[in-house]
Amino acid sequence: MTSYSCCLILLLFTWNTTAYGPNQRAQKKGDIILGGLFPIHFGVAAKDQDLKSRPESVECIRYNFRGFRWLQAMIFAIEEINSSPTLLPNMTLGYRIFDTCNTVSKALEATLSFVAQNKIDSLNLDEFCNCSEHIPSTIAVVGATGSGISTAVANLLGLFYIPQVSYASSSRLLSNKNQFKSFLRTIPNDEHQATAMADIIEYFRWNWVGTIAADDDYGRPGIEKFREEAEERDICIDFSELISQYSDEEEIQQVVEVIQNSTARVIVVFSSGPDLEPLIKEIVRRNITGKIWLASEAWASSSLIAMPEFFHVIGSTIGFALKAGQIPGFREFLQKVHPKKSTNNGFAKEFWEETFNCYLPDGSKNSPASASFHKGHEEGLGAGNGTIAFRSPCTGDENITSVETPYLDYTHLRISYNVYLAVYSIAHALQDIYTCTPGKGLFTNGSCADIKKVEAWQVLKHLRHLNFTNNMGEQVDFDEFGDLVGNYSIINWHLSPEDGSVIFEEVGHYNVYAKKGERLFINENKILWGGFSKEV
C-alpha cells in the first residue's frame, strides 16, 4: 500500500469522526473501546435541503434528560469496572458515545464511525503510517433505544459481526438471528408483552377495543401479535390506526376522528412517547374523555404523555413497566455531573445549559445575542421548541440538587439498569476471554482469543455463551435469540397528592415463567379509574 493510499484512508476516517464534532460525543481512551448510542435529543429539525450548497448536518432538537441519564449509566458502569480489582484487572475500558437524536440517520452516522475504525484496524496500517493518535477498534456497541433505530444499526453492525447490546429495543423482529446476527438485548422482547395485554383485557372481560401503533418496527409487530392474541380470546377490534411523530396535522386529525366516533372505550397502544405525543395533544385539545388506555412499556411512564395537564383525558391508563434494578452509588454519581469536571463527556455542557436555562460563555450556541430557549421537561417539552429568548450566563456554581429534573429521577431504575447490565454483560464476556484456559476455549481446537488483540466477532461468540450473576443475584444468560427473558410490573397512573404530578402506582405483575392462566396478577383495590374512581 502506498503512503498516499494510507493518508487518503486516514483522511476519510478523520472527516467522518470530526464531522460529528468534539462536543457531540462522550469519549475516553482505553485498552478496549465500547461504543454507545443514546437519544440525547428527541428528534431533528425539519430542513429542506435544496442542494444549492453542500448539505449541512441537521440540528438535533428537544433535549431528553432521561437519555442523558442512560448515557451516564454506561459511563458509571465502565468506571466501576475499571476500578474493580477482579473484573478485567490491569485493563482499562474506554468509550465512544454518540447521540442518535432518536433518528435512524443520526444513529447510522455514528455507527459508520464505529465500523470505519474497525475496518482501518483490519488493514493493519501501522507499518505504513505513524499513527500516534490511534484509537482502538470498537469491539461492542451499547444501544440503541427505539427498535426501528436498532434495526438499522443492527443491519450495519451485523455485516462486521460487531456485537450490539440494546437496553430498550424490544421488537420481536430483532430476535431473528438470520437477519440480525450480532444483536442482543437486556430487555424482554414484545412477544410476552402483547400476550399480557390480551390477558389484561380478558381479565376485565372487555371485548370491544381499538388499537393504535407506531408506524415502525416497534409498533407494527407488537400490535400484530396483540391482534393474534385478541382473536384467540374472542376480543373484537373496532379500529386499528398507525401513528408517527412525523405525521402531518391532517393524518392526526383523521385518527382522532376515528377515536372520537368509536364506541370502543378501551384503546390499546403500542408506541413510544414521541410518536404518541402529537395524537394525545389533539385528543386533549378536543377534550375526548371516558377512554381507558392500555400502554406498552415504551410510553407507559413517558413524561411526554404522563403530564398533569393531560391527566383528565388519559388518567385511566394501565401500562407495563420493566422490572426495576438497583445501582449502588449511581445517585451520587449523577449528582457529580458538571461541565468543567466531566471533561470526557461532551454532552455535559448542553445538559447544564438546559437544566439551569443559562449559557456557558465559551462559544456556546446559546450566546446572549441569539439564544434559543431550550428549557423544558424530560421528554420533549425540551430543546428546540422554537421560542426565542435570552439566557443569562451560567455561574458554574448552580446546584444540581436544587432543581427538579427527570435526570435525577432514580426511584425506579429500569432502562438505566438495562444499560448498566448491558455494559456488565460485555465486560463479563471479555473476562471470559481474559481467563480462558487454552484447550478449553470456544474457538477452533479449544483455542482462546488474545485479550490484547481481541476482535469484535470473538466478543460476540463469548456473549452468546455468557452466564454470570448480576449485582442483584440473578443469572444473566442470553437465549438462542439473543434475548433475556424478564417479567413486567403493571402500573396505573395516579395524581400525587403532594405536588399534583403523575405517579405510577404498581398494581400487579406479569410472570412469563408461570403456567398459562397463572401469569397475571392484578390488585384491583389499588387501581384508580380516571384518577379517582374505584369502579371500572
pLDDT at 386: 37
Asked if the structure places residue 379 within a domain, the reply is no
Q: How many helical (H) and strand (E) elements, i.e. helices and strands, does the chain have? A: 13, 20
Looking at the fold, whether 444 and 513 belong to one and the same domain comes out as no
pLDDT (tens digit, 9 = 90+) per residue, 179-212? 999 999 999 988 889 999 999 999 999 999 999 9
pLDDT at 484: 87
- Number of structural domains in the chain: 2
pLDDT (tens digit, 9 = 90+) per residue, 484-536? 888 899 999 999 888 888 999 999 999 988 888 889 999 999 999 876 677 76
Instruction: Please tell me the distance from the alpha carbon of residue 534 to that of residue 527, in angstroms, as a whole number.
Output: 7
Looking at the fold, whether 494 and 455 belong to one and the same domain comes out as no
The domain that holds 342 is classified in CATH as: 3.40.50.2300
pLDDT (tens digit, 9 = 90+) per residue, 43-87? 888 777 678 788 777 889 989 999 999 999 999 999 999 999 999
Looking at the fold, whether 469 and 496 belong to one and the same domain comes out as no
Looking at the fold, whether 172 and 198 belong to one and the same domain comes out as no
Cβ–Cβ contacts within 10 Å for residue 373, how many? 16
pLDDT at 389: 57
Asked if the structure places residue 298 within a domain, the reply is yes
Asked if the structure places residue 51 within a domain, the reply is no
Asked if the structure places residue 53 within a domain, the reply is no
Looking at the fold, whether 415 and 346 belong to one and the same domain comes out as yes
Q: Which domain holds residue 503?
A: 190-315+487-531
Parts of the chain with a pLDDT under 50: 1-23, 125, 132, 364-388
Asked if the structure places residue 380 within a domain, the reply is no
- CA 311-316-317 angle, to 5 degrees, is 95
Polymer length of the chain: 536
Report DSSP letters for 325-371, one per residue: B--TTHHHHHHT--TTT-TTBTTHHHHHHHHHTEE-TTT-SS-SSS-
pLDDT at 405: 86
Output the 3-class SS for 419-458.
Answer: HHHHHHHHHHHHHHHHCCCCCCCCCHHHCCCCHHHCCHHH
Nearest to 520 by CA among 236, 264, 273, 229: 229
Asked if the structure places residue 140 within a domain, the reply is yes
pLDDT at 183: 97
For β-strands 208-214 and 236-243, DSSP reports them as: parallel
